[in-house]
Structure 1
Amino acid sequence: MFQKISLLGVTIIMVVFSTYQNLNMRKIFLDNRKKTANINSAVQDSLSGIRVVKSFVNEEIEKKKFNKRNKEYLKSEVQSYTAMGKYLNSR
């Protein structure tokens, strides 16, 4: 009888933990996709307006914008790999 109760308790803990981790990873991966979309749109805008950027000598400004978005994406990637690592190491 005690074994069944302890097995049930462990199973409930595992389900709760897995659900929590899954929701956390979903949030991080959604943020990651948003950051990727930001980078893609910035590159597209820069490339489509390359003549304007060059004519106003704004290359450095565009580089800074891209680097900022790229760092945000990198931070998001690190968070996603950290969340996956925590989940996989806890199983």
Structure 2
Amino acid sequence: MIDQEALIQRAIDPSSVKLEGTLTNPPSFGVYAIDADDGSTHYRFGSHPVRMHELEDKFGGCELEYLFLAREDAAAMTAALNRPEDEEG
């Protein structure tokens, strides 16, 4: 099972990366919250800030929840956040 607290501890401050071209240095991966029409929140992840701009274009907005240096951490956090409450454990 994914330890969400351990993932949160690995999240980095967005100010710790520098924008270079369309990506950051060092490379970083964001977890973004998207508000759905039904009032629920869904989470997506990807290369920061490219994925953030894609989600803003597609959904009209998103919010950066966590930023990670490892893509695997962003994927695991997204999966944990999208898991239905009755499966949380």
Same fold (TM over 0.5): no
Structure (1 or 2) with the larger CA radius of gyration? 1
TM-score (norm 2): 0.30
Q: Which has the higher contact order (CA 8 A, sep 6+)?
A: 1
TM-score (norm 1): 0.29
Q: Quick check: which one's helix share is greater?
A: 1
Q: Quick check: which one's strand share is greater?
A: 2
